[in-house]
Structure formats: C-alpha cells, structure tokens
A and B are shown apart, each in its own frame.
Chain A
Amino acid sequence: MTAFLAIVARDLRLGAGAQGAMLTTLLFFVLAVSLFPLGVGPEPQILARIASGAIWVAALLAAMLSLDRLFQADQEDGTLDLLAQAPLPLGLVALAKTLAHWLTTGLPLALIAPLLALLMQMETEAIPVLLLSLLLGTPSLSLIGAIGAALTLGARRGAVLVPLITLPLVIPVLIFGVGAVDAAAYGLSAQPHLLLLGAFLAAALALGPFALTGAIKLALE
C-alpha cells in the first residue's frame, strides 16, 4: 500500500509541478469550450442545447492531451525498468500512475466544468449531474488512455496515435456522460446513466491492469 501511495505521490508532484501538464490541460479545456460559442453563435438556447456535449467532448480531448507522456518519461530515464522489478505488481504500478494522472487532469477538469457550464447557459439542475458524471467518467478516460499510452510506448508519432486508438474505445463513456446531463436538464432521472458510467469504470478498473501489464512488459523487452 505504501509503495502504491509513494508512486502516486511521486507522479502527483511531477504532474502538478511546473513542467507538469495540469495547468496546460485545464487551459486547453477552458479554451476548447470557449470555442463553441464563438463558432455556433451566442444564442442562449442553442448553447444550452449543445452545452453537455461540448463540455464532455472538450473534457475527452483535454484528458487525452497529456497521456502520451504518462509512461514515456519514465521509460526514457529507466525508471519504468526499476518499477517493473519492484515488489509491487506491475499492474498496480500502472494503476498508481493512472490515478495520479487522473488527479492532475480529470479531477481538475471535473471541478472547473460547472463554471464552464454556466458560460454555456446550461440549466442549473443539470450542473451537479455534470460534475458527478465527469467525476465518474474521467477515471475511465485515464484508464483506457493509459492502455493506449502503454501500447504506443516507443512508437513513431505515438502522441497522435494515442487519441486515435483510445477515442473509439471511450465512446460509451461520452454517450452515458452526456446522457446523464441531458436527462437532468430535461427533469428526468440521471441515475441509469450514472450507474452505467460507474459500471464502465468498474470494468475498466478490473480489466485494465491486465492490459496495462501486458503492454508495459512488451515495451520493456
């Protein structure tokens, strides 16, 4: 447990620091959402209609941004080899790094999203559901994205490849996340959508470490 937390703490310090991706990811998120009113016009009804989708898509893209460096920085300086030989199973090591990634990208995105929802004229009943859906959905993004990042370690143009192979796989998260927010906006229950988001997260948490272990071991051969 202490080893797990030590890895999380180390990656948090690296990620939240000056060279970390946290602030740039947040900035990208805010910028991307701001592009929508500029593109489709400021009419409040239209913005309210597309708000959930725009915010979720921007969150998806922002979460993808820093993924390619997740394992690559450690592979380049040999840390990944040492971590692979540590007593902590490689799946848990990868899970720790993914948790730290989520804490520095997904979590801040989710926390700032309500502010952006106000900018996008979203109905106020929907905003807490937006927060909850992003809190449930962004860890799945980090997990599936970590698989993509591990698979492309050492590949040419790996940075472009990670979104290409990850985005089709996380489409259910997008669908249910937006579905939850839209349900709340129309006064319906968001619970089914949120439960499905939780189910996807549970499955990703259970199965992800196997894929991560395989992919990292492959990269270290």
Chain B
Amino acid sequence: MHALANPARFLRLMAAIRPYAAVLAVLGLAIGLGWGLLFSPPDYQQGETVRIMYLHVPAAWMAMFIYAAMAVASAAALVWRHPVAELAAKASAPIGAAFTLICLVTGSFWGKPMWGTWWVWDARLTSMLILFFLYLGYIALWEAFDDPARAGRAAAILALVGAVNLPIIKFSVDWWNTLHQPASVLTMAGPKIHADILWPLLITALGAQAYYVWMLCLRVRAEILERQARILRFSAAADRRAA
C-alpha cells in the first residue's frame, strides 16, 4: 500500500482498473436490476412493490460499506501520512452520501404502500438517517478549510471518531426503538430469501460495488489532478512575484 502513496503510480493503477470496473458496473447493474425489476417473482405478501428492494438493499449495503472504507482510508492517512488515502476518503464521501440518500428515498417509497407512511422512526431508518448526517458533516468539514492538507487531516480524525461511534449509535437506536415502541414494522416476514430473488439482489450489489470502484477511480483522479493544478498555480504565482 505504501507503493500506492506515489500519486503517479496510483493514477496508473486506477487507469488500469477503471475500464474493468466500468464494464462490471454497467453489466452488474443492468443484469441485476433488469432481472430483479422485470423478471423476478413478486413477493407472496407484498406483491410487485417488493421490487423496490433491488434498489434499496444494495444502496443500503453500499452506504455502510463506503463509510467503513472511508474509516480505513482515514486511518491509513493519519497513521502513515498516506496522501492518496486521504483523497480516496474525500472522494468516497459524496458517493456514500448519495447511496444513503437513495436508500432513504427508495425506502420511503417502499414504506408508503407497505406501512401506510412515508417515514417511521424505526431503528434502521433512524440509524441510516444519522449515517447520512455523518456523511454530510464529513463533507462540510473538508469544505471548511482553505488549506487542503489541514482539511484532510481534520476530516480523517472526524471519520475515525464517527467510525468508533457508529456501532454505538446503531445499537442505542435499536434499544431505544424496542424499549419504547413495539415493532409495528412489516418485515420481510416470509422465509429466507429464495434464490430467484437472491440472485438478482447479489448481482445488483456486485454492480453497485463495481460502480463505486469506477466512480472512485474517476473522483480520486480528479482530486489528485486538482491538487497538482493548485501546486502549479502557487508556484506560477511565486515565480511571477520573484520575476
């Protein structure tokens, strides 16, 4: 991983990975979503509306995975002063926030026909909402400083504090919900997921994962180039001043 601290080498690696990630993403999402949305069987209890699950569940999985990835990258950035890890965390945050938003919105659209309400303060919904706030706070912290190096380190500390606290938030929201309100939520009450539903779900999840890697390649490249442009701007200004 230390070999990847060299931005040029990292860019070359990303450029090599990117086309495969793109193809895998498009294929995975197309096949998974197409199969799930069009050809998979309807649920015996929920009918056709269960198809929102193929959008909702992979988005939820990605939202949590990306935060974990951000935390690992932030730890690498702080411990080893790894310059690219910092940028990888920064680039991941908007993608994670977007997946969280998709999860919340699709969940809301799923909840209206199922539960009769757009929102309920269920433990899962609440902890996803808080995850969304954590993403937004992280992004806001990056934007709050003029010096990007300073912003990166502060954001890395915030990501780690959030990562430590996220399990605590998760189980405290779980307990709060069960202590005060009996679960009135209709869950996937059927038996364990049938293969006809499981396969499109997994393929979509794989496609979403590949999409994340693809977007990460693009965004980290943009961040690195932006940093280099900034350095060039500064040295050009310094040269102009010296001349």
Contacts and interface: CB of A to CB of B under 8 A. Distances in A.
Interface in A133-173: 144, 147, 151-152, 154-158, 161, 164-165, 167-169, 171-172
Which of A156, A169, A176, A200: most chain B CB closer than 10 A? Answer: A169
Interface string B178-199: 0110000000000000000000
Interface stretch (B37-45, B58-66, B165-173): B165-173
A172 B197 CA distance: 36
Given A147-B161, A207-B164, A171 B140 contact: no
A151 B173 contact: no
Contacts, number: 82
Contacts of A147: 157, 161
Interface in A183-221: 196, 200, 203, 207, 211, 214-215, 218-219, 221
A11 interface: no
A155 B137 contact: no
Chain A: interface size category = 20 to 34
Interface stretch (B93-101, B128-136, B218-226): B128-136
Nearest to A166: B137
Contact of A164 (B137, B173, B180): B137
A3 interface: no
B141 A151 contact: yes
Given A175-B176, A182-B180, A221-B150, A214 B141 contact: no
List 8 A-B pairs, minimum CB-CB distance, nearest first.
A155-B144, A172-B172, A165-B137, A168-B133, A175-B176, A151-B154, A218-B153, A175-B172
